[in-house]
């Protein structure tokens, strides 16, 4: 008995050490794959255009410079665009998360006629890409009763508030799955204590799916930030960061180069600077949320 437990522990420790080494190599290698394009981006954003024609420069630029980034900021009208994007982004995400959570709960916990058919619509919303419905949607906002809502932020806010924003379908789906995973006793207890369904939803169920809410909110922020297709349908001007990055090529040749001949290789410097500028704000936001996310994990672990 004693001996077998000794061998068990020895094997256990050996396995443990092997696993640690294996884990380290896996994580290190994959991290490298992920970071490779980003290292490339940073390296190019800080180099001067002439470095692109120098074969001896591989990663570290010879002429370290900030002027390219400054020029790109001017071309993109960076601070104004950033402010516009943040207002649009955060507003849409908050209303979208709320509307999707309510809808997901309705689908998870109530039996009603046509539930299957209505949930089929949610699945369709996941399946159908925006490209298909973009032009009819444009027509709806162009002739929205007596109004022309094109170029008005309302044409992003309205669908988001009604649970039909960018990728709302998948969010409703995630909320439904996580509400279904909760034990039914939660609500029964709340009902016995005299709560109505809305109160039970708000004060009992919502606090229990906090980690799902944070995940969905993170998705939502990211998707709205990265979207250029929907906003290019509804906006004529470059009102968001993703849109002005997508059109950075044209913007650069219109304003900065002004007819001067800049080779494709040299243009990479400005393009990568634009990429860096549009990634940095979302990265800062992400680091901030990441911290909350890990805290949420440990709290739910303790609660369980």
Partner 1 sequence: MKHFKLGFEKRRSLYGYGFISVWFIGAVIFFIIPLVQSFIYSFYDIKPDVGGMTGEFVGLEKYNYALNEDANYRSYLFSVLKETFWKTPLIMIFSLFIAVVLNQKFRGRTFARAIFFLPAIIATGPVYSIISGNMASTGSSGSDSFSTMFSSDLFGKLMYFLGIYDISETVTKAVEAVENDVFGIVWNAGIQILMFMAALQNIPSSSREAAIIEGATEWEYFWKITFPSVSPMILACFIFTVIDSFTDPKNAVMIRIGTMQIDWKYGEASAMAWIYFAIVLASVGVISLIINKFIYYEVE
Spatial distance between the Cα atoms of 171 and 224, rounded to a whole number of angstroms: 13
- Burial readout 5-30 (b: 16 or more C-beta within 10 A, e: otherwise): eeeeeeeeeeeeeeeeeeeeeeeeee
Nearer to partner 1, 145 or 259 (CB): 145
Quick one: DSSP state of residue 262? -
Q: Looking at beta carbons only, is 3 or 111 nearer to partner 1?
A: 111
In angstroms, give the least distance from the CB of 300 to partner 1.
6
The 8-class DSSP code of residue 144 comes to B
CA distances 70 to 76, 80, 129, 246, 265, Å, are 10, 15, 36, 18, 19
The secondary structure element, H or E, covering residue 298 is helix 264-303
Helix axes 264-303, 67-76, angle to 10 degrees: 80
State how far the Cα of 139 lies from the Cα of 283, in Å rounded to an integer: 35
* Centroid of chain to Cα 9: 44
- 296: tokens are 């949420």
Nearer to partner 1, 58 or 260 (CB): 58
Which of 258/298 has CB closer to partner 1?
A: 298
Residues 6+ apart with CB under 8 A from 108: 175, 176, 177, 179, 180
Least separation in angstroms between CB 238 and partner 1: 12
Q: How many CB atoms lie within 10 A of CB 88?
A: 20
Nearer to partner 1, 71 or 285 (CB): 285
Instruction: CB nearer to partner 1: give 78 or 105.
Output: 105
Nearest distance in Å: CB 77, partner 1: 17
Taking residue 55's Cβ as centre, other Cβ atoms within 10 Å add up to 5
- The least distance separating partner 1 from the CB of residue 68, rounded to whole angstroms, comes to 14
CB 238 within 8 A of CB 247: yes
Closer residue to partner 1 (CB): 1 or 135: 135
Q: Which residues pair with 64 in a beta bridge?
A: 47
Nearest-approach distance from CB 203 to partner 1, in angstroms:
15
DSSP for 67-81, please give it.
HHHHHHHHHHTHHHH
Give me the least distance between CB of 67 and partner 1, in Å please.
Answer: 19
Nearer to partner 1, 88 or 158 (CB): 158
Q: Which is nearer to partner 1, 185 or 258 (CB)?
A: 185
């Amino acid at each position: 008995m004693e001996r077998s437990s000794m061998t068990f522990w020895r094997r256990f420790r050996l396995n443990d050490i092997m696993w640690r080494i294996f884990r380290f190599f896996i994580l290190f290698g994959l991290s490298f794959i992920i970071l490779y394009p980003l290292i490339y981006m940073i390296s190019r954003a800080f180099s001067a255009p002439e470095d692109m024609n120098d074969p001896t420069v591989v990663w570290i630029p010879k002429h370290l410079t900030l002027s390219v980034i400054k020029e790109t900021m001017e071309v993109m009208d960076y601070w104004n665009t950033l402010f516009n994007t943040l207002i649009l982004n955060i507003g849409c995400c908050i209303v979208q998360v709320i509307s999707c959570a309510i809808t997901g709960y309705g689908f998870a916990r109530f039996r009603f006629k046509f539930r299957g058919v209505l949930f089929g619509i949610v699945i369709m919303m996941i399946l159908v890409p925006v490209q298909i419905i973009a032009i009819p949607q444009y027509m709806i906002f162009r002739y929205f009763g007596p109004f022309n809502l094109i170029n008005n932020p309302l044409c992003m806010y309205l669908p988001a508030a009604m649970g039909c924003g960018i990728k709302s379908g998948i969010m409703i789906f995630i909320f439904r799955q996580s509400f279904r995973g909760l034990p039914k006793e939660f609500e029964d207890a709340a009902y016995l204590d005299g709560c109505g369904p809305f109160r039970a939803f708000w004060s009992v169920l919502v606090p229990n799916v906090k980690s799902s809410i944070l995940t969905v909110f993170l998705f939502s922020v990211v998707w709205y930030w990265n979207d250029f297709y929907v906003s290019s349908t509804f906006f004529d001007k470059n009102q968001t960061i993703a849109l002005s990055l997508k059109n950075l090529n044209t913007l650069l040749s219109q304003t900065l180069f002004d007819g001067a001949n800049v080779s494709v290789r040299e243009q990479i410097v400005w393009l990568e600077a634009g990429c860096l500028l549009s990634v940095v704000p979302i990265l800062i936001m992400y680091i901030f949320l990441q911290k909350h996310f890990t805290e949420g994990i440990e709290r739910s672990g303790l609660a369980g």
